[in-house]
């Protein structure tokens, strides 16, 4: 029986608000999964890098779940590209804390390729099995990159291959990511497992749209929501361009776009500048509104207030925003890429767009906004479909996987 799991999340903490910096769906995954495991009597210790002198060494989040801040490199936020030299010191610091506190875990579960690099060192030192979730894959991002975007560093791709080879289990969020690991990395199928993330249905649940708009203080226009980190591969500017094609008669011609989240790294700041240039060129100043990252409870109200949530990502391993929005009864218009076809059921919970073309996205959003009966049917289907995703189910699946790799390694 698994009693203690160590999560390794070097580059971002589960305590950081999603949508800010490098924090996104992975942060939600770490936090909600840890809380669920702790509620079942499994202790979870999450190791992350200290980025602020005021970060406590140990943050007790709830009974059985704590976050340990390890000093590795400058005590300040760093871009992922600047963190690579500190993976070994981070692993050493995590191991020292484990030894000092005699807190040997039964399993190590690393998250993202940088953490995988540290996770391999921790696995070897402790002699315990390692599970790894990449959350995004470098070769997949390269295959989907846009014009002018830099390729992922060779160091990342080599590290991903090493982590795949050294992990006892690599956990894919969807069958599509499973196939990517086979196709792009030649991973051994017997070492791959599928375990989708969940949704907190106590927070993300249907509600009255007018009341949600009143709580948020927003007007009664049709609302399109983009939520998450702002980066080129997330397609933020494509969402703005799509809005410019929603004109003329019909409610969609009065639609506004709410962008909820912050720029992630230099490429994110460049994407914000592209969005602002598009807004100015297309005369959309009164139809686009920016929001800082918000807590889950407020984000749920944004979903409830929306007619449509748009996800024009070029690559997406899962797409937690789509699952959360659908749980609130909001149809999703998403790119037919990555894990999104696993999360959105076409013409039942939302619509999938094959081409990354703003006019195609505009047509899909118009079909929902201007046809209330179709929108209502999608809303009902979205709630029903979202019920397949829960953190309880995710925790059960992972405990099964952890037990399996522990027994196989014994």
Rounded to an integer, what distance in angstroms lies between the CA atom of residue 295 and that of residue 131?
29
CATH code of the domain covering residue 69: 3.40.50.2000
Q: Is the same domain home to 359 and 396?
A: no
- Domains contained in the chain, number: 2
Residue 203 lies in a domain: no
E strand or H helix at 131:
strand 130-133
Greatest C-alpha distance within the chain: 68
Q: In sequence order, which residues have a C-beta less than 8 Å from that of residue 399 and are 6 or more positions away?
A: 2, 37, 40, 42
Give residue 19's pLDDT: 65
Query: In the predicted model, is pLDDT for residue 149 greater than 80?
Result: no
| Cα gap 257→255, rounded to integer Å | 7
Q: Are residues 137 and 238 in the same domain?
A: no
312: phi then psi, degrees, rounded to nearest 5? -90, 40
Residue 217 burial (CB count, 10 A):
6
Give the pLDDT of residue 317. 83
Q: What is the pLDDT of residues 203-215, one digit of tens each?
A: 999 999 999 999 9
pLDDT of residue 17: 77
* 284 within some domain: yes
Q: Is residue 335 part of a domain?
A: yes
Q: Convert the pLDDT of each residue in 188-206 to its tens digit.
A: 999 999 999 999 999 999 9
- In this structure, are strands 350-353 and 332-335 parallel, antiparallel, or unpaired? parallel
Asked whether residue 402 is domain-assigned, the answer is yes
Specify whether 151 is located in the same domain as 243.
no
Q: Within a domain: residue 300?
A: yes
pLDDT at 101 over 90: yes
Angle, CA of 63, 65 and 67, to the nearest 5°: 135
Please list, in sequence order, all residues whose beta carbon lies within 8 angstroms of the beta carbon of residue 329, skipping any fewer than 6 positions away: 206, 207, 304, 379, 380, 382, 383
Same-domain pairing of 144 and 269: no
33 and 154 in a single domain? The answer is yes
Task: Tell which wins on pLDDT, 248 or 222.
Answer: 222
Helical H segments across 282-369, by residue range: 296-305, 320-327, 340-343, 358-369
Q: Specify whether 381 is located in the same domain as 395.
A: no
Answer whether residue 204 is part of any domain.
no
Query: Do 178 and 34 share a domain, yes or no?
Result: yes
> What is the pLDDT confidence band of residue 56, given thresholds at 50, 70 and 90?
very high
In the chain, the percentage of residues whose pLDDT exceeds 70 is 99
Shared domain for 100 and 218, answered yes or no, is: no
Residues 148, 225 share a domain: no
Rounded CA-CA distance 382/327 in Å is 6
271 in the same domain as 135:
no
Sorting pLDDT into bands at 50, 70 and 90, what band is 20? low
Please provide residue 299's backbone torsions phi and psi, each rounded to the nearest 5 degrees: -60, -40
Residues 217 and 182 in one domain: no
Strands 58-62 and 65-70: antiparallel
Judge if 255 and 320 occupy the same domain.
yes
**Contact by Cβ (8 Å): 194, 172:** yes
Q: Provide the pLDDT for residue 378.
A: 98
Angle (deg, nearest 10), helices 236-244 and 358-369: 60
Q: Which of 206, 197, 198 is nearest to 300 (CA)?
A: 206
Q: Which residue range is the domain that position 152 belongs to?
A: 4-198+390-409
């Amino acid at each position: 029986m698994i009693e203690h799991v160590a999560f390794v999340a070097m580059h971002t903490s589960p305590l950081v608000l999603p949508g800010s910096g490098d924090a996104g769906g992975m942060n939600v995954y770490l936090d909600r999964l840890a809380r669920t495991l702790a509620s079942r009597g499994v202790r979870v210790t999450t190791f992350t890098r200290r980025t602020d002198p005021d970060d406590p060494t140990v943050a007790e989040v709830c009974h059985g779940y704590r976050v340990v801040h390890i000093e590795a490199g400058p005590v300040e936020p760093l871009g992922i590209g600047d963190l690579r030299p500190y993976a070994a010191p981070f692993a050493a610091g995590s191991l020292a804390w484990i030894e000092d506190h005699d807190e040997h875990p039964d399993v190590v579960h690393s998250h993202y390729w940088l953490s995988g690099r540290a996770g391999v060192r921790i696995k070897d030192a402790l002699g315990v099995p390692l599970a790894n979730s990449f959350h995004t894959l470098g070769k997949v991002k390269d295959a989907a990159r846009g014009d002018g975007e830099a390729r992922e560093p060779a160091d990342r791709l080599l590290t991903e291959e090493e982590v795949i080879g050294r992990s006892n289990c690599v956990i894919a969020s969807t069958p599509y990511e499973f196939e990517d690991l086979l196709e792009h990395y030649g991973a051994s199928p017997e070492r791959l497992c599928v375990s989708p993330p969940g949704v907190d249905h106590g927070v993300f649940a249907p509600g009255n749209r007018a009341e949600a708009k009143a709580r948020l203080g927003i007007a009664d226009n049709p609302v399109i929501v983009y939520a998450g980190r702002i980066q080129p591969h997330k397609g933020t500017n494509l969402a703005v361009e799509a809005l410019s094609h929603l004109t003329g008669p019909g409610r969609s011609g009065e639609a506004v776009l709410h962008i909820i989240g912050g720029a992630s790294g230099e490429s994110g700041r460049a994407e914000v500048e592209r969005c602002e240039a598009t807004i100015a060129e297309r005369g959309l100043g009164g139809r686009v509104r920016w929001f800082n990252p918000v807590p889950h409870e407020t984000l749920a109200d944004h979903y409830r207030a929306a007619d449509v949530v748009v996800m024009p990502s070029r690559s997406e391993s899962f797409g937690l925003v789509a699952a959360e929005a659908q749980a609130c009864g909001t149809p999703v218009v998403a790119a037919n890429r990555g894990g999104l076809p696993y999360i959105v059921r076409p013409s039942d919970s939302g619509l999938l767009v094959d081409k990354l073309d703003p006019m195609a996205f505009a047509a899909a959003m118009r079909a929902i906004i201007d046809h209330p009966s179709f929108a209502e049917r999608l809303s009902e289907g979205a709630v029903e479909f979202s019920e397949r995703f829960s953190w309880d189910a995710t925790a059960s699946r992972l405990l099964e996987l952890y037990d399996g790799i522990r027994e196989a390694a014994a």
